[in-house]
Structure 1
Amino acid sequence: MPSERAPLLENGDSRSCSAPPAQNHKPGPMEISRSTRYGILAGIWVANFLSVRPATLVATLLPSISSDFQKSNQASWLGTSYLLATCTFTPLYGRLCNVMGRRGANQLAVFFAAIGTLACGLSGSMEGLIAARFLSGLGGGGIMTTATIITSDMYSIRSRGLTQGIASVFSGLGMGLGGPLGGVISDRFGWRWAFLIQLPLFVLSFLLTSVNLRYTTPGKGKSTKDVLKRIDYGGSATLMGAVLSVLVFLSNRYNEERTWDEPSVIVPVVFSVVFFVAFVIFELRVAAEPMLAPFLLKQKIPVLVGVSNYLVATCNFAVMYFFPMWFQTVALTSASTAGLHLLPNSISMSVGSMFAGWMMHRTGKYKKLNLIFGVFPFTAAVLITKMREDSGPLQLWLSIIPLGFGNAVVLQTMLIALLAHIPHSSMAVGTGFGQLFRGIGQVGGVGIASAIFQHTLDTALRERIDGPDAAKLIKDIRHSARLVASLPPDVQRQARDSYALALRAVFTMAAVSTLLAYLVRLPIPEKELEHQPRPKALAEATVREDPPSSVPETPFDSDDERDDDRVPPLAKHQRPVRRLSTYESLDGGMDLESDDVGGSARQQG
């Protein structure tokens, strides 16, 4: 008699009793349940909310933070350090998604952002806070990139545009609420708590993605070794060195008012030239997959779009970082009130993005949108320069609305114009090309605006304040923006007028920047946005007659039963399908390793 431990089949393979491999198969992004999809969206959107919040949060807290450390002249570094990290390291996350997986790359970004935020709240010096902001920037840009890739995985082209549009609402809320909430918290509990209070939300995002973000993306990437070889390490390092050197020069020469013959001014200029030349060499000759695609630099439309993105971002961030300061130093309002004045801009940006996407999807055109609404930012910048202490509430509250709305329309139309004029296989490369110019413009907007502001403020104060203690008083006023409210009436008047003049110079620079951007965009031609099926897709596609019930009930539901990347030939009675003209790449998962939609930055022609 066989024992209880004897196998039922004497010569059978023990593996026959194990679970079939299919039972261990992890679902793909289109196969996950609705609840899992909602959990993933909640996790990445919470992180998105936190990643855009610092833009308006720090702009509102600049006077409070810099005054506590008595270093208002270094306040711009709180913005530029974050943007510098975002500009130079964000392009790496596209490839990290293929090396570490979607969840690993997203959680790495969330981790950096959370640690940086914690360090901001615990910083004991301005230098430590600047370093903490840089650490936050390592994660902030990665959160946005990985969220876009994850959304592109889970939704086909038909639903992706609307889903990304709804995601922009959360981003708009983060940007819109960052200023007023940060101001309220700063007024009541201190500026440190404006950072520390965000930590539970980072934990929530991490937990939601840990539980839900477990799908697989088979066949989308190459081996880890091959992907790591394609990362542009040299380009990232030399770009960061060039931009950082320029920022150090601007800070030392204009924020610190050092002379041209001092080494602290000369050395950064030399380094900026050396790093810039090295960056160009790396991008043109060395890097396997450069961030700045050389073949796009030879084409008129990508270059014009890149220059426009740079100028638009310069205008946006110059106004965003210095607009709240006008209310705290000239109008002498509280930090919460100053931050609240940024809310209309954030709302108008979200509305403008949705409006531009809807109009392009409906009409298939972008040039008229750009011609009409591209003037709005210049109008807003001029209105802002005309603000006075006795200006009415309509001007103080609504003058910034055309800026956010117009620039949002411009950025969306320029993205589509760029993608419409490059090969389909270069979609991801083209998107990264435009984002690189935009990132440099963000850093430049804060850095250049700060140099103009500090130089003009110093000159104006010296013209207005004299006496034996004038030098010390001027230094104190420049180093502590909150000091203005407590000055004697006669000196306070001089300080407020000086701040008003310096801020007007910044807003004038923003107006000139956005006007130049408008002129740069004029030669960009119209191109019909009909979706032209690719020859390969036409050959592979099969015409389906899906019933109406197969259409997803909500924009959050996957439409995996339809393969929208395969576009069948249109019947004679059907209208051409428009491209979904909103947000990021139009096809694929922005997979940089894909030959179909990633392409190579080294391709010719």
Structure 2
Amino acid sequence: MTTERTDQTGVGLRSERGPVLLAVMLSVGLVAIDSTILATAVPSVVEDLGGFTQFPWLFSIYLLAQAISVPIYGKLADLRGRKPIMLLGVGLFVLGSVLCGFAWNMPALIAFRLIQGLGAGAIQPIGMTIVGDIYTLAERAKVQGYIASVWGISAVVGPTLGGVFSDYISWRWIFFVNVPLGVAAAWALFRRFHENITKKTEHRIDYAGAILLAVGGSLLLLGLLEGGVMWTWDSPTSIGILAASVVLLTAFILVERRAAEPILPLWVLGQRVLNAANSAALLIGVLLIGLSTYVPLYAQGVLGTSALVAGFALAAMTLGWPLAASLAGRIYLRVGFRTTMLGGSIIVVLGAVLLLTVNARSAVLQLAAACFIIGLGLGFSASPSVVAAQSSVDWQTRGVVTGANMFARSVGSAVGVAVFGAVANGVVAARLGDSHADLEQLPGEVLAPAIHDVYYGAAGAAVLLVAAVLFMPNRIVERPLS
């Protein structure tokens, strides 16, 4: 059935919105902690379950499931309401966590990570959509800082918990710890979040579009994530996967043009605000994966730090992000979205330039400082872009718009994996004649130039981010919450 908004989701009072915001923050915290906690526990997992060659799929399958499900959940949230989709996401994530904790071998753990990823695909975009529903543009300026702070806290808490559980208890508790958080978030949402929705006509759910997007998008991301890793780029497997993705995604576009209620309406691609926001999100995804993958590796392999210190060097970026996001709201209300995002993207460029000055003789603090500055710039760029996109549409399409933005960031991460991996492997091949060497096993004199060229790529992405931001309108007419 088609839904129609009748008021501000029934949580217009401050006393009622507070618990809902807390529930959203707890839910987002599940995804944020999970993004960092598993990496530190991988050695313990492999030692217990075996499957060393398969463990990268613990991350790839999660990213695939999360990325592909995001736009589908966004559309369902516009059709059915935010609450049931958010509860579904939290439920799937907790179920996946419990199953991961009881996994008996690596294939089982990988399968259960897929369930976690399907849950995560609902939590983050629908959480941001709920915030867009219950807070005005001015109020969202502060609330975005709260949401961003969850990621900052998780950047420290995740690696710490992962290390503690792995060393002193059991790696299985990195998954079990999600259960109380998920139950608390679901309970608060169930009890305090009320949507007043009237149902008017029958839905015509775009099943064909959903299937084509899920399969075609999965193949595209799979080809980008595993190309040059599981198989060479010019292999029949790689060519076949990418060609099939192009065919299926082309068919998806054709289906969406005729669907009564498309999963991803094509008008999303025709609005200036949304194009600028999604382009920025894609480039932010590229930057994030480049830093999160190669900064810790550089700190350990070139600067000679421990894994813990390397993790905290990267965490400097995640700490800078919420600091900037909390200030960005006040700024874009005064000077506009484009001006705020432009300043942020220029800060990202400055941080990327500083990153290029890091060498084998540098202190790890210099590396952390570059990451912190980049984090500040991303905080001034990313949060305003989401708010701008949400504010430009009404309730009936806010879920789709938020989902499209998150999907663009996921695609950017997959593209970043492919491009940066190719760059690093190209340097290795030129020096050692082995394009498939394990980067973690390379000597510092080979690893340093390989990652340094990746930093050049990150700087290029930062410059493109400046260009994308220039297309964002400075002022946006806010649509009503209801």
Same fold (TM > 0.5): yes
**Matched ranges for 1:378-393 at <5 A:** 378-393=349-364
Letter in 2 for 1:342: L
The answer to whether the aligner puts 1:213 opposite 2:192 as a matched pair is yes
Write the deviation string for residues 195-231 of structure 1: whole angstroms up to 9, x where unpaired. Answer: 3333332233334444x23635143x545x42xx24x
- The separation in 2 between residues aligned to 1:43 and 1:426, in whole angstroms, is 23
**Matched ranges for 1:38-187 at <5 A:** 38-61=18-41, 77-97=57-77, 102-152=82-132, 154-155=134-135, 159-187=139-167
Query: 2:450 maps to what in 1?
Result: 502
Post-superposition offset of 1:58:
4.1
Query: 1:349 maps to what in 2?
Result: 321
Write the deviation string for residues 133-179 of structure 1: whole angstroms up to 9, x where unpaired. Answer: 32212111312233344445555565454344323323432244323
The TM-score, its normalising length taken from structure 2, stands at 0.82
**Matched ranges for 1:294-373 at <5 A:** 294-300=266-272, 302-361=274-333, 363-373=334-344
Change (3 A) 1:214 1:393: closer
Which of the numbers 217, 241, 253 marks the counterpart of 1:243? 217
- The separation in 1 between residues aligned to 2:88 and 2:355, in whole angstroms, is 40
Of the structure 1 ranges 84-93 and 415-424, higher mean CA displacement relative to structure 2 is found in 415-424
CA contact (8 A) 1:183 1:337 kept: no
**Matched ranges for 1:425-444 at <5 A:** 429-444=400-415
Which of the numbers 254, 261, 272 marks the counterpart of 2:245? 272
**Matched ranges for 1:448-459 at <5 A:** 448-453=419-424, 456-457=427-428
The answer to whether the aligner puts 1:515 opposite 2:458 as a matched pair is no
- The separation in 1 between residues aligned to 2:416 and 2:367, in whole angstroms, is 22
Of the structure 1 ranges 87-96 and 418-427, higher mean CA displacement relative to structure 2 is found in 418-427
CA contact (8 A) 2:26 2:181 kept: yes
- The separation in 2 between residues aligned to 1:148 and 1:378, in whole angstroms, is 27
The TM-score, its normalising length taken from structure 1, stands at 0.67
CA contact (8 A) 1:258 1:265 kept: yes
CA contact (8 A) 1:51 1:141 kept: no
- The separation in 2 between residues aligned to 1:454 and 1:180, in whole angstroms, is 31
Post-superposition offset of 1:395:
0.4
CA contact (8 A) 1:61 1:335 kept: no
CA contact (8 A) 1:377 1:514 kept: yes
Post-superposition offset of 1:347:
1.6
CA contact (8 A) 2:50 2:105 kept: no
Of the structure 1 ranges 439-448 and 268-277, higher mean CA displacement relative to structure 2 is found in 439-448
- The separation in 1 between residues aligned to 2:43 and 2:29, in whole angstroms, is 24
> What SS does the corresponding residue of 1:375 show, helix, strand or coil?
helix
- The separation in 2 between residues aligned to 1:142 and 1:497, in whole angstroms, is 43
Of the structure 1 ranges 342-351 and 127-136, higher mean CA displacement relative to structure 2 is found in 127-136
Letter in 2 for 1:358: R
The answer to whether the aligner puts 1:478 opposite 2:458 as a matched pair is no
Which of the numbers 154, 169, 174 marks the counterpart of 1:194? 174
Letter in 2 for 1:478: D
Of the structure 1 ranges 49-58 and 447-456, higher mean CA displacement relative to structure 2 is found in 447-456
**Cα RMSD for the two superposed structures:** 3.8
Compare the two structures and name the one with the higher helix fraction: 2
> What SS does the corresponding residue of 1:201 show, helix, strand or coil?
helix
Letter in 1 for 2:240: V
- The separation in 1 between residues aligned to 2:260 and 2:33, in whole angstroms, is 35
- The separation in 2 between residues aligned to 1:351 and 1:500, in whole angstroms, is 31
Change (3 A) 1:444 1:169: same
> What SS does the corresponding residue of 1:390 show, helix, strand or coil?
coil
- The separation in 1 between residues aligned to 2:46 and 2:20, in whole angstroms, is 38
CA contact (8 A) 2:125 2:406 kept: no
CA contact (8 A) 1:58 1:78 kept: no
- The separation in 2 between residues aligned to 1:254 and 1:140, in whole angstroms, is 27
**Matched ranges for 1:553-572 at <5 A:** none
Letter in 2 for 1:303: N
> What SS does the corresponding residue of 2:262 show, helix, strand or coil?
coil
Letter in 1 for 2:413: Q
CA contact (8 A) 2:58 2:109 kept: yes
- The separation in 1 between residues aligned to 2:170 and 2:359, in whole angstroms, is 29
Letter in 1 for 2:211: A
Change (3 A) 1:299 1:213: closer
**Matched ranges for 1:249-268 at <5 A:** 249-250=223-224, 253-256=227-230, 258=232, 260=234, 262-268=235-241
Count, aligned residues: 475
CA contact (8 A) 1:79 1:446 kept: no
- The separation in 2 between residues aligned to 1:205 and 1:158, in whole angstroms, is 25
Of the structure 1 ranges 396-405 and 321-330, higher mean CA displacement relative to structure 2 is found in 321-330
Post-superposition offset of 1:359:
0.4
Write the deviation string for residues 487-519 of structure 1: whole angstroms up to 9, x where unpaired. Answer: xxxxxxx53333334333333322222222222
Letter in 2 for 1:310: L
CA contact (8 A) 1:59 1:320 kept: no
Letter in 2 for 1:146: I
Query: 1:29 maps to what in 2?
Result: 10
Write the deviation string for residues 12-58 of structure 1: whole angstroms up to 9, x where unpaired. Answer: xxxxxxxxxxxxxxx97237894x65544433322221122222334
Write the deviation string for residues 341-381 of structure 1: whole angstroms up to 9, x where unpaired. Answer: 232211211112122211012x1423332333212223323
> What SS does the corresponding residue of 2:438 show, helix, strand or coil?
helix
> What SS does the corresponding residue of 2:228 show, helix, strand or coil?
helix
